[in-house]
Chains A and B, each alone.
Chain A
Amino acid sequence: GDSVTQMEGPVTLSEEAFLTINCTYTATGYPSLFWYVQYPGEGLQLLLKATKADDKGSNKGFEATYRKETTSFHLEKGSVQVSDSAVYFCALSDLNAGNMLTFGGGTRLMVKP
């Protein structure tokens, strides 16, 4: 079945540092890939998405590129802020599975001033 693996946290960075959160996936079909962010005490918010190979999703300074050859969708940001502190979830949606989301385990990011 489909699965998503992302790096375990917590990831602790200083403000303005470069961020990478690794995400790899396995899927039987051609999934869409997503990054969701969850701030403390809140639900999930869509951060960015990519629907086909080589697509780059971007939002709020975050980027991720759909790499079919390496089955990866790593999240990056050039300069993190304290307000970026949250839990980040990588996920895939497979049409063959009724578009249900398969989540990674989540990565907690803590940004210190």
Chain B
Amino acid sequence: GAVVSQHPSRVICKSGTSVKIECRSLDFQATTMFWYRQFPKQSLMLMATSNEGSKATYEQGVEKDKFLINHASLTLSTLTVTSAHPEDSSFYICSAPFGGTQETQYFGPGTRLLVL
């Protein structure tokens, strides 16, 4: 199947700093990628849809100025958590669809963010 990578896998930062998370589709192109957030022992919550060449689409309740998304190329989307605070600590996961008319979402391994 298709492979999606994320970097870094784990990051610890101080409150007030910004953190950038990269999501790459390694063997296919993705005009759309999705960013999710997962709290401990909970399901995934869709944060936004990243669109190559245009602005991201954010879900209701997600602050676009807080979570900056840039889809720089057909294989790379970045999520920047600006001025991170402890409540932003979470597991962030991206996905990209692959497979044409029967496309399937392939997920990255996730990035665990801990804000001190």
> Which chain A residues have a beta carbon within 8 Å of chain B's beta carbons?
32, 34, 36, 41-46, 49, 51, 89, 93, 98-101, 103-106, 108
Contact = CB atoms under 8 A, between A and B. Distances in A.
Nearest to B59: A100
B75 interface: no
From B6, B34, B44, B112, name the one whose CB has the most chain A CB atoms within 10 angstroms: B44
A43 B108 CA distance: 6
A-B pairs with lowest CB-CB distance, top 8: A43-B110, A44-B107, A43-B109, A43-B107, A105-B43, A106-B43, A103-B43, A43-B93
A89 B103 CA distance: 18
Contacts, number: 50
A100 B34 contact: yes
A51 B101 CA distance: 10
A32 B97 CA distance: 13
Interface of B: 1, 6, 34, 41-44, 46, 49, 93, 95, 97, 102-110, 112
B53 to A, nearest CB: 16
From B1, B43, B112, name the one whose CB has the most chain A CB atoms within 10 angstroms: B43
Contact of B106 (A46, A51, A106): A46
Given A32-B102, A103-B43, 19 more contacts: A43-B6, A43-B107, A43-B108, A43-B110, A44-B93, A46-B104, A46-B105, A49-B104, A51-B102, A93-B105, A98-B49, A99-B103, A100-B46, A100-B49, A101-B46, A101-B95, A101-B105, A106-B43, A108-B41
B44 to A, nearest CB: 5
B104 A44 contact: no
